[in-house]
Amino acid sequence: MSLIGKVVSDSVFTAVRSVASVAKGFAIIPLITNLLGAESYGLWVTVLAIVNLLTSTGGMHLHGSLIRYTSEHTDQNQAYSDVLSLSTLAGVAVAGGTWILGTVFDLSMVFETDLTGQSALVVVCSLLVFSEMVYKINSNFPRAKGYVKQYELVQFTRDVLETLLLVGVFLSGGGILAAITGILGLVTTLNLGLVAVVAVRFPIPLPNLGNFARYVRYGVPMIPNALSSRLLAHTDKYLLLYFLGPSAVGVYTVAQKICMPLERLTAVCNSTLYPTIAAAWDNGNFSQITDVYKAIYRYYSIIGIPAAVGVVLLSESLMTVLSTVDIATQGLHLVPIFAVGYLLKGYDTTIRYILTAAERTDTIGLSVFGSAVVNIGLNIVLIPRLGMAGAAVATVASYAFLFGLVFYHSRSEVTLSVPTPTIGRSSVAAGVMTITILSVNFNLGFYSTLLVIPLFGALLYFTVLLLIGEFEKPELRRAKTTLKNLI
């Protein structure tokens, strides 16, 4: 199978899992905002952001070391044994530090609300950090072996089970602590199951201390990347919490959530790109790598541009259905800003694997760190002046800065280009779609709007795109053959 064929084949499975992940996020928003309020939703996303920050930073990108070096010898499992041992030790240290800090500081002052059961929350979050760090290694083992579909099956299973679990907890009257405790139980169970499956199917050698330094050298430069990535993703929420309180965080996050699927349009390739690009790099298949990114950028432009426009057009209906009228009213003006930011982020999210394949993890770390610094500075300046809109503008600016840096460095390794003609034609077609939709009085309710307008808009958009010559006849014939095979 060609490199592009493998990426497409694996990405189909990732797309299915991404739908489940997005559905999980969308299912939780109305549950918490309607049952517990915007303030509780702000607390929920902030606590999970802190857990993710500690997990990513403390994990030292060891899952990346597992993927990168297992690809060299897929018939051996030494890397899994070594990296799992390292991650377990690191998890104990990070979880212990989290518990100590959470015990020392009064979190009620940070969240500006009375945290009943703070001690229990700190303990559960500390254990969750440990479990997530170990899970990162266990879940990525199939991916490291090249079994991307199995990796996606594991992630899909977790998303489905976690969604059912959280829905059950919140509908039965449980709060934030109960929900996080449930996630801890689920992740722990998955860890035990994955270790058992690996031990049965593969011979796992004892850890080799002599290999530890190599994995750490590869992963440690990514600590600034992990830390900066989490800060880049969540600094706006931390500072909004400080300046405006948890309710503002809740409103802001709902507006952000409806735009985040734009990034996932290319993120569906990430699971397979990491091991696949690394293997192609080791084999010297640089022209194939160029072809893969040419295809990704072109088709993302074709789909991402109208999707971003569509999210803006449907933002009022989306936010009202997913949360409350009050939250939609307060956060509606943020959606166009986020749509631009996550459209840009979609272009950035895949090309980092060129640098990981080239073992330039330090370049990635410095690029993300620089973007995080820009993000923090702009948030501090803009939030007091513009409120939630200032945080959104700061996020978009930092994403644009990061894309420029990563694209520049990746381009020095392989040939990359921006599909300017495709972007131009997609923008024209999206403009025609927008003008037509705004000119027609559909007179529909919220739910009907979310069904009818996307179908009408997509049909109009692709018709215009076809008429102005974006698709060539051989490409259309291939698409027709593929559809027949699927049917």
- DSSP track, 95-121: HHHHHHHHHHS-HHHHHTS--TTHHHH
pLDDT tens column, 150-177: 888 898 899 889 999 999 999 998 888 8
Return the ∠ at Cα 46 (arms to 67 and 219), rounded to 5°. 20
Query: Distance between CA atoms of 130 and 112, rounded to whole angstroms?
Result: 27
Residue 257: per-residue pLDDT = 87
Residue 483: per-residue pLDDT = 56
Residue 448: per-residue pLDDT = 75
Q: How many residues are present in the chain?
A: 487
Query: Distance between CA atoms of 244 and 248, rounded to whole angstroms?
Result: 6
78-104 and 118-144 helices, crossing angle to 10°: 160
Residue 465: per-residue pLDDT = 92
DSSP designation for 206: P
Which carries the bigger pLDDT value, residue 208 or residue 116? 208
Question: Number of C-alpha atoms within 13 angstroms, CB side, residue 415?
Answer: 9
Say which range, 64-68, 139-143, 201-205, 222-226, has the weakest mean pLDDT: 222-226
Domain regions of the chain by residue span: 3-418
Label residue 199 exposed, middle or buried (CB < 10 Å: 0-12, 13-18, 19+): exposed
Phi-psi region of 314 (alpha: psi -120 to 50; beta: other; left: phi over 0): alpha
Query: Distance between CA atoms of 144 and 134, rounded to whole angstroms?
Result: 15
Residue 302: per-residue pLDDT = 93
Residue 241: per-residue pLDDT = 82
Task: Provide the pLDDT confidence category of residue 429 given band limits of 50, 70 and 90.
Answer: very high
pLDDT tens column, 252-298: 988 998 898 888 888 777 777 877 888 888 888 888 888 888 988 99
- pLDDT for 238 beyond 70: yes
* Phi–psi pair at 424, nearest 5 degrees: -65, -50
Q: Please, what's the b/e burial string for 444-477 (b: 16 or more CB within 10 A of its CB; e: otherwise)?
A: eeeeebeeebbeebeebbbebbeeeebeeeeeee
pLDDT tens column, 311-339: 999 998 888 888 888 888 898 999 999 99
Tell me what the pLDDT averaged over the chain comes to: 84
Residue 486: per-residue pLDDT = 46
Residue 339: per-residue pLDDT = 94
Residue 94: per-residue pLDDT = 92
Two tokens, residue 187: 């992740």
* Rounded alpha-carbon distances, angstroms, from residue 134 to 128, 131, 215, 332: 10, 5, 16, 39
Which carries the bigger pLDDT value, residue 483 or residue 93? 93
Residue 223: closest CA among 332, 359, 362: 362
**pTM strictly above 0.85:** no
Residue 179: per-residue pLDDT = 93
Which carries the bigger pLDDT value, residue 439 or residue 227? 439
The rounded Cα 285 to chain-centroid distance in angstroms is 28
Torsion of CA 381, 382, 386, 391, to 10 degrees: -140
* Gyration radius of the chain's alpha carbons: 23
- pLDDT for 112 beyond 50: no
Two tokens, residue 190: 């998955």
Mean pLDDT of 11-35: 74
Could you tell me what percent of the chain has a pLDDT over 90?
Answer: 31
Residue 120: per-residue pLDDT = 83
Which carries the bigger pLDDT value, residue 176 or residue 107? 176
Query: Distance between CA atoms of 220 and 226, rounded to whole angstroms?
Result: 10
Query: Distance between CA atoms of 324 and 35, rounded to whole angstroms?
Result: 11
**Beta carbons within 10 angstroms of residue 132's beta carbon:** 24
Residue 86: closest CA among 230, 222, 214: 214
> Please, are residues 260 and 97 in contact by the beta-carbon 8 Å criterion?
no
Mean pLDDT of 93-102: 88
| DSSP notation for 275-334 | HHHHHHHHTT-HHHHHHHHHHHHHHHHHHHHHHHHHHHHTHHHHHHHHS-HHHHHHHGGG
Residue 109: per-residue pLDDT = 47
Residue 364: closest CA among 348, 345, 376: 348
Residue 70: per-residue pLDDT = 78
Mean pLDDT of 27-34: 82
Query: Distance between CA atoms of 313 and 332, rounded to whole angstroms?
Result: 11
Return the ∠ at Cα 86 (arms to 84 and 89), rounded to 5°. 110
- pLDDT for 21 beyond 80: no
Residue 15: per-residue pLDDT = 65
62-70 and 78-104 helices, crossing angle to 10°: 170
Task: Please count the helices (runs of H) and the strands (runs of E) in the chain.
Answer: 23, 0
Mean pLDDT of 302-309: 94
Mean pLDDT of 140-154: 84
Residue 73: per-residue pLDDT = 55
Which carries the bigger pLDDT value, residue 477 or residue 187? 187
Residue 405: per-residue pLDDT = 92
